[in-house]
Structure 1
Amino acid sequence: MSKTMDSTAMRQVNKKLVTQLIYERSPVSRISVSQMTGLNKATVSSLVDDLIRDQYVIEVGYGRSRRGRKPVMLEFNAKAGYCIGVNVQITYVTTVLTDLMGQIVHKHVRPIDFSQHQFSAAELKHILLTEIDAVAAKAPASPHGIIGAGIALPGMVNFETGLAYYLPNIEITEWDVCQALSKHLTFPVFIDNDGNCGALSAYRAHPSTPLVFVNVGIGVGTGIVIDGEVFRGYKGIAGEFGHMTISTIGLLCRCGNYGCWEQYASEQALLRYLQERGQMEASADLESQFAQIVVERAVQGDVHYQEALTTLGGYLGIGIANIANGVNPERIVIGGPIAAGAAWLRPAIRSVLRHRSILSNKDVEIDFAEEDAVVSGAARLCIAHLIL
């Protein structure tokens, strides 16, 4: 039996389509919106009037016209509201306040060390609420206030249900994050894997498809974007390439497997490479500024640090070659603190790709993300699912 959509539902679908187009193409005229969406001019004008009344869209002057009256240009109102983004990593928690176009207007980094203390879900909840409340207090007045908070987590989570199945380096399992936080907040909460959040940011910066984002921290997380949408898989845990095996008798991973990619291509691996070169004490632990310190020493000309980054790049290349051969992406973007070491990572990755990738995968675009890619992507969860 065929189903028809009533006029109210159809209007909502059309309104979302118009909103998305204005968001992505600002400044744009009503006539251009009509042409690009295929909606008639009257429908577009009515929907735009609604968006202007709700203060999501503003008129910003006149555009050019070859003949006749100049068109009034429309722009999405970035200051109509604000979003909160949180990036939870093992040695720090970054929280940002962004406007509705994703521009960061406030940022706070809280050093922390999950590796030295096994945090309970209740303790992590307290940290998250404290950071969210502190950043929320910085929000300027706006028509819609804070529309939501997005949280990037380093582990296996289900965006649809808000459940964290397993955060391997924090050792929290089966935690309903969204339910736990929503009881204390007046706006909706979204969660996703840190790799998926980074992928959202990377796609906005470089709309390539398929695109793969590789987030390198103490672990390795990845996100995949296909045709503008994050590919999450059957139960939300697609893209766990950090736990693919690259050595059958390799190092034991926290997930219980041996030889996982993240044991060779992460910050913990980089620390080990430096220890093997006598540059770090055997008992040294990772800290929130570890990657920054390593890159600074490499820039200063320290050969040991340069070699450690090159070794890391080689192992990154092995995993990236596997991803390229399996997904055949147009672009792979590397993020996380280690991205600052691109000068040493890129040549090593390229060398491995030439030997281990097939056909066009040898020449896949390799980019390095900005520092705030993951936390900006977390904030963008709100925009993507509440406005667009």
Structure 2
Amino acid sequence: MAKTVDAATMRQINKKYVTEMIYNQGPLSRIDISQVTGLNKATVSSLVDELIAEQFVQEIGLGTSSGGRKPVMLKINSSAGFCIGVDVQITHMKTVLADLTGGIVYKRIRPMDATHGRLSQGQLEEMIIEEIDRATHQAPPSCHGILGAGIALPGIVNYRTGSAFYLPNIEIENWDVIGALSQSFSFPIFIDNDGNCGAWSLYRERQERNLVFVNVGIGIGTGIVVNGQLYRGSNGIAGEFGHTSIAAMGVVCACGSYGCWEQYASEQALLRYLRESEDVPEALELSPNLVSLAVEQAATQSGYQRAFRTLGQYLGVGIANIINALNPGLVVIGGTIAQAASLFLPEVEYVIHHRAMATNKHVALTVAHEDAIVVGAAQLPIAHTLLQSPLAEV
């Protein structure tokens, strides 16, 4: 039996679609919105007037016209409220306070060591609560205050239930994240996989409707955008390319398998390549500064250069597999490894050229800015409260 939608519900759906259009594509005029959505001009004007009264949207002046009256242009009011983003990685936690368009007004990086269960679930919860609370007190006055906080996690996450099934390198399982954190705050908490957060942030930034974000840190995670929406798969865990096998009997992985891609193209792999090199005397460890220190040494030492080239070759193998499988319009490499792009990117491009098929050889490849994931996390509250489900399953 078909479900009926009452007028009030339909108006809220249309309002979110209008907000989403302005959020992603603004500045736009009312006539632009009407033409794209198919809503009549009176409905669009009424919805826009409501958004202006709520101070989520503002008029910014006149646009150009091909004839007749110049249209009034609209954009999101970035200072109407603020969102908090938290990017939980294995060696550090990054927290930002961002305005409604992703502009960062506060940022803090907190070193930590969560490898191999060294940080308990309770300790991690305390850290997140402390960092969100600290960011809350940095918020400037605004009409809507803090809309919410988004948390990016490195593992298998159910964004609908707010729980983390498994964070492989941290060794935390079945964690009710929102249940543990929400009672500490008056605003809502949202979670997602870090790859998804990065992919969504980059989609908004670049407006490429089919892209893959490859997050390379201690592990590898990916986020996939298909036709302007995150692709999650049937159970919400699509994108675990870091745990696809590239060596049938290779290095054992934290997930329990062997030869996983992240064991050959991540910070873990970089550390192993450096330790295997005869001309790298330092006793190196996984840390927030590993990549930056290795980049500095690579300026003069060949062992560091070789390690980055090897990493780039394996990174290229995995990306070529992704490109051949998905044929995206853009692949973006992010995470801590991105700061070493000049040392590994030529190898990645070389491997893709030889392993990708047909036009896949020419898929655009670039590097993300350092805050892509945490900005994406900060946009979760906006996506879940103001917009029309752009993060739902595809």
Specify the TM-score bucket, using the shorter chain as the normaliser: over 0.9
Name the residue aligned to 1:149: 149
- Which amino acid in 1 is paired with 2:243? H
Give 1:78 shift: 0.6
- SS of structure 1 residue aligned to 2:265: coil
Q: Deviations over 1:164-197 (max 9, x none)?
A: 0111111110001011111111111111111111
Name the residue aligned to 2:53: 53
Give 1:250 shift: 0.9
Matches within 5 A, 1:335-350: 335-350=334-349
Give 1:269 shift: 0.7
Name the residue aligned to 1:321: 320
Name the residue aligned to 2:391: none
- Which amino acid in 2 is paired with 1:345? F
Q: Deviations over 1:18-46 (max 9, x none)?
A: 11122233222223322232222211111
Q: Deviations over 1:52-105 (max 9, x none)?
A: 111101122233345554433222101111111111111100000100001111
Give 1:117 shift: 5.6
Contact 2:89 2:154 in 1 (8 A): yes
- SS of structure 2 residue aligned to 1:32: helix
- Which amino acid in 2 is paired with 1:41? K
Which whole-Å CA distance do the structure 1 matches of 2:241 and 2:25 have between them?
Answer: 34
1:13 and 2:13 matched: yes
Contact 1:195 1:223 in 2 (8 A): yes
1:128 and 2:128 matched: yes
- Which amino acid in 2 is paired with 1:164? A
Change (3 A) 1:115 1:278: farther
Which whole-Å CA distance do the structure 2 matches of 1:176 and 1:193 have between them?
Answer: 14
- SS of structure 2 residue aligned to 1:382: helix
Give 1:303 shift: 2.2
Which whole-Å CA distance do the structure 2 matches of 1:194 and 1:66 have between them?
Answer: 44
- Which amino acid in 1 is paired with 2:274? L
Give 1:107 shift: 0.3
- Which amino acid in 1 is paired with 2:245? T
- Which amino acid in 1 is paired with 2:38? G
Taking structure 1 as the reference length, what is the TM-score of the superposition?
0.95
Name the residue aligned to 2:392: none
Which whole-Å CA distance do the structure 2 matches of 1:245 and 1:68 have between them?
Answer: 61
1:381 and 2:380 matched: yes
Which whole-Å CA distance do the structure 1 matches of 2:28 and 2:354 have between them?
Answer: 47
Name the residue aligned to 2:358: 359
Unaligned runs of 5+ in 1: none
Contact 1:271 1:280 in 2 (8 A): no
**More deviation, 63-72/221-230:** 63-72
Which whole-Å CA distance do the structure 2 matches of 1:62 and 1:362 have between them?
Answer: 43
Change (3 A) 1:27 1:380: same
Change (3 A) 1:66 1:222: closer
Contact 1:160 1:236 in 2 (8 A): no
- SS of structure 2 residue aligned to 1:45: helix
Name the residue aligned to 2:243: 243
Change (3 A) 1:280 1:67: same
Contact 1:314 1:349 in 2 (8 A): yes
Matches within 5 A, 1:305-320: 305-320=304-319
Matches within 5 A, 1:134-283: 134-280=134-280
Contact 2:280 2:304 in 1 (8 A): no
Which whole-Å CA distance do the structure 1 matches of 2:158 and 2:77 have between them?
Answer: 31
Q: Deviations over 1:251-275 (max 9, x none)?
A: 1111111111111100111011111
- SS of structure 2 residue aligned to 1:264: helix
